Amino acid sequence: MLNTTKEIDNGVLIVTLEGSLDTLTSPGFDKDLEEILPTVKGLTLDFEKLEYISSAGLRTLLAAQQYMEDNNYPNVKVLHLNANIREVFELTGFDEMLDIE
């Protein structure tokens, strides 16, 4: 299950994710991003309550980052990674592709 809270601040979409971003939940989140990204100039993801991310979730992040690059916007910013998700990011190189805080 994935719960998201979205807000826009100064043209930046801030999404707080809670639960799991996986094979079951990433298609819906991907669709949400596809609809809203054309209306913003930045994307920040708060992972404080995200417990798990799968390869499907990583694909969603990759697509969002590619969209930002294609439109000359700043990299996707990710906040509050837990140790397990940070390890996944480090193993896959996402820690170098995205702005991690």
User: What is the residue extent of each domain of the chain?
Assistant: 2-100
**Model pTM?**
0.94
Nearest alpha-carbon partner for 44 in 72, 19, 80 = 80
**pLDDT tens, residue by residue, 75-84:** 999 999 999 9
**pLDDT tens, residue by residue, 5-62:** 999 999 999 999 999 999 999 999 999 999 999 999 999 999 999 999 999 999 999 9
The residue with tokens 């837990």 is: 82
User: Domain 2-100 classified CATH 3.40.640.10?
Assistant: no
In angstroms, rounded to a whole number, what is the distance separating the alpha carbons of residues 51 and 53? Answer: 7
